[in-house]
């Protein structure tokens, strides 16, 4: 980690160590996302309070740890993805065109993506097919939330930069894409 980045991350961790402050950000942010028809289909129908509690637990673990690969951080992330995006198998699965989308990679010459999951439960979200359009909407809601709560500009910039840094990871993008023959 470079000498200029470490103090910024540390100052952001200090600013976000207040669980009540992070809780208010998460509550407003989550309400905006669940109210947005463009992305609310990704979230499971569990009560928002359960989903926000799991996200708050993850953020608390993330900001209190100096290693994002720490077992407690990964366990909290896995729990959040399970609560927010996992579906039950109450209904029998019907075969859809999406079940055979992988064939387009083989016969259509489209790019083959290397899927890199953040944790096992991350697959629940990835199966729903989020892309950059959806991530841009999330960033829009995060920015609006930070403005609504009057977060200082420098802290808001750091939070948005950290969220943007997570784009490829959340969208399960591998390090390289291969072209099918």
The string of pLDDT tens digits covering residues 90-127 is: 444 444 445 555 555 556 555 656 788 999 999 999 99
Three-state DSSP class for 161? helix
Q: pLDDT tens-digit profile of 57-74?
A: 999 898 888 776 789 999
Q: From the CB of residue 79, how many other CB atoms can be counted at a distance below 10 Å?
A: 18
pTM summary value: 0.78
Span 124-142, average pLDDT: 95
- Burial string for 117-141 (b: 16+ CB within 10 Å, else e) reads ebbebbbbbbeeebeeebbebbeeb
Q: Can you give the C-alpha Rg of the chain in angstroms?
A: 18
In this prediction, residue 7 carries a pLDDT of 59
In this prediction, residue 11 carries a pLDDT of 65
Higher-scoring residue by pLDDT: 155, 87: 155
Instruction: Give domain 5-42+99-179's CATH superfamily.
Output: Globins (1.10.490.10)
The DSSP result for 60-129, as a single string, is HHHHH-S-TT-HHHHHHHHHHHHHHH-----SPPPP-GGGGTHHHHHHS-PEEPPB--SSTTHHHHHTT-
Distance in angstroms (rounded) separating the CA atoms of residues 136 and 94: 31
Distance in angstroms (rounded) separating the CA atoms of residues 47 and 118: 24
Look up tokens 């996992």; give the residue: 86
In this prediction, residue 179 carries a pLDDT of 39
In this prediction, residue 96 carries a pLDDT of 46
CA dihedral for 73, 46, 168, 134, sign (positive or negative)? negative
């Amino acid at each position: 980690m470079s000498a200029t980045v470490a103090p910024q991350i540390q100052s952001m961790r200090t600013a976000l160590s207040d669980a009540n402050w992070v809780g208010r950000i998460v509550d407003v942010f989550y309400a905006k996302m669940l109210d947005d028809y463009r992305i609310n289909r990704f979230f499971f129908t569990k009560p928002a309070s359960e989903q926000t509690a799991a996200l708050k637990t993850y953020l608390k673990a993330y900001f209190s740890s100096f290693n994002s690969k720490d077992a407690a951080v990964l366990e909290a992330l896995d729990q959040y993805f399970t609560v927010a995006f996992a579906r039950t198998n109450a209904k029998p699965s019907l075969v859809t065109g999406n079940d055979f989308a992988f064939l387009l990679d083989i016969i259509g010459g489209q790019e083959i993506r290397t899927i890199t999951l953040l944790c096992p439960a991350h697959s629940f979200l990835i199966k729903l097919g989020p892309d950059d359009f959806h991530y841009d909407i999330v960033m829009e809601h995060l920015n609006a939330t930070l403005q609504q709560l009057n977060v200082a500009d420098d802290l808001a910039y750091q939070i948005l930069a950290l969220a943007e840094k997570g784009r490829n990871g959340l969208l399960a993008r591998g390090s390289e894409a291969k072209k099918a023959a």
